[in-house]
Every structure is written in structure tokens, then in C-alpha cells.
Amino acid sequence: ETTIQFTAENVESAEVIIYNIKGQKIKTFDVILCGGEGQSSMIWNGTDDNDKPVSSGIYFYKLRVYGKETASKKMILIK
């Protein structure tokens, strides 16, 4: 599993989407934030939306804040 950390300002909800190297959506998380400023985190246990384990490899995650910009990062899953 891995922890994805991010900082959000004046945001109440966001979405984290994990994609594989082919650009296929693997997992979606709805993130509820307390609002205000601060660092938040979430844990991905290496499974897809059907709770099936995914293989080792390169994945991308996108933080989409509703009504604001998005940010994408690359990560490597090693089992």
C-alpha cells in the first residue's frame, strides 16, 4: 500500500483517480476534507475499483478538486 499526501486550501471535497500506464482508470476515491488549509492523505492498498489486486508497475494519480485545478503525479507500485 502507499500513502498519497496532498495539501488543499479552502476545499471541502475532492477526488483522487488512479490510472495505469495505458491511461485506464484503476481506482477512484472521493475525498472529504474539513475545509480550510492543511495537509491531507489517503491510503491506496494496490487494488482496483473491484477490490482486485493490480500488478506491479507505473501508475499515475490525479487529484481533482471540484471547481479548481487538477494535479497529477507518477508513482511506482512494487510488490
Q: Which residues contact 15 (CB under 8 A, 6 or more apart)?
A: 28, 29, 30, 31, 63, 64, 66
pLDDT tens digit sequence for 7-61 = 767 666 788 999 999 999 999 998 766 555 657 778 899 999 999 999 999 999 9
Q: Which three cell numbers stand for residue 13?
A: 471535497
pLDDT at res. 35: 54
Of the two residues 39 and 63, the one the predictor is more confident about is 63
pLDDT at res. 42: 83
Strands (E) in 1-79, as ranges, are 2-9, 13-20, 25-32, 37-44, 57-65, 70-77
Q: Which residues contact 57 (CB under 8 A, 6 or more apart)?
A: 20, 21, 76, 77
